[in-house]
Amino acid sequence: MSSSRQVLRGLGFASVLVAAALSLSACQVRPLYADMDGKERSISITEPDSRVEQLVRNELVYAFSGGAGEPANPAYQMDLQVTAKATGVLAQGTNDEYTAARVVVTGAYKMIDQATGQTLFSGQRQAVALVDNPDQEYANVRALRDAENRAAREAAAFLNADIAGKFARKGL
C-alpha cells in the first residue's frame, strides 16, 4: 500500500511540474525596450516652464537618446507638463510649524506622431519625496530643492517606463 501511495505522490508531483512548465511556456518574457527599434530615440520634448520640469525633461532626453541628446528629425513630439507641490505633514509646537514635508512631482504627457499630428497616447505619473524641514532658513530651502530633485528623477524614470511600455504595446 505504501508503494501505491508513493506512485500516486510521484504522479501528483509530476503533474504539478508539467502544469508549471506549460504555464511558464505561455509567458512571453522579453526586455521592455526590445521591440522599440530605435523609435524611443526619436522623441522631441516640449520646452520646460519651471526648474523641476527642466529636471524631468533632461532625465527623459538622456533616457530616450542614451546620452546623445535630442534628435534632429524626431518622429514623435512629447507634450510634457510637470508640477511640483510641497505640503507639510507633521505640525509641531505652539505655532504649528511643519517639521516634515512631502514633495509631489506630477508629470503628465501626450505623445503625438509628427507625421500625422495624431495623439498616440497620453499618461500621467507622479513621484513623492519626503523631507525634514530644519530650523535654518538656507538648510530648509536646500532640503526642499533636494527633495524636488529626487522626486523629479523618480518621476522621469516612471514616465520613461510608462512610455516604453505603451510603445511596445502599440507595436510602434
Residues 6+ apart with CB under 8 A from 133: 88, 97, 98, 99, 100, 101, 140, 143, 144
Lowest average pLDDT, out of 29-43, 53-67, 131-145, goes to 29-43
Domain extents for the chain? Answer: 1-30, 37-170
Multiple choice CATH, 37-170, 1.10.3720.10, 3.30.160.150, 1.10.1740.10, 3.20.20.70: 3.30.160.150
Residues 70-119 pLDDT 10s? 888 899 999 999 999 998 776 665 566 667 889 999 999 999 999 999 99
Q: What is the pLDDT of residue 36?
A: 47
pLDDT at 60 over 70: yes
Q: What is the pLDDT of residue 26?
A: 53
The residues, ordered by sequence, that sit 6+ positions from 44 with a Cβ below 8 Å of its Cβ are 70, 71, 74, 76, 77, 78, 114
List the beta bridge partners of residue 91. 98
For the cut 80, the answer to whether the pLDDT of residue 46 exceeds it is yes
